[in-house]
Amino acid sequence: MIVINVMTCIPMSNKTPTEVMHSKIYVEDHVRRRIIDDWKSSHITPELNYLSQDIDVKFCDNYIPYHHPLIDEESDDHGLYCLGNGISTSMPHVQYVVFGEGWNKSRGCLMEAIIAWSYGKKIFAYTGNKFIRDFDVYKHAVAELQNIIIE
């Protein structure tokens, strides 16, 4: 069996833990088939087509609850802690990074998109009921971060 490991990045600001988990599940349900098709298109040749029945997508659990004992949940440090933890503990072990709705307005998701693309991860980002991918996500993230820095 082939296992494709995926990291899901969901904006967390102004959301309850339940809302974050619902967003995560929604994106994962909608992207699973796309990831399998994308992987097949770049890895499975006609000779290896028999492998297509044995592909599983595994989403890593990179969610950190808001009540972390070392971080004041009212400060920006909580978001920074979550960002650093996701990048250091989850991203090195995945082939794909998937972003949920609102990713393009989240500083953390924008940074994760730039890092994921820079390190050769495949990317899907859910925006307005459609997915954009790879370099288009990177370009969008760079432009959005420039707008945040200038403002």
| pTM assigned to the model | 0.84
- Please check the confidence at residue 112 and state whether its pLDDT lies above 90: yes
Amino acid, res. 85: N
Is residue 45 classed exposed, middle or buried when 0-12, 13-18 and 19+ CB atoms within 10 A define those classes?
Answer: exposed
pLDDT class for 84, splitting at 50, 70, 90? Answer: confident
pLDDT at 71: 64
Across 20-29, 45-54, 84-93, least confident range: 45-54
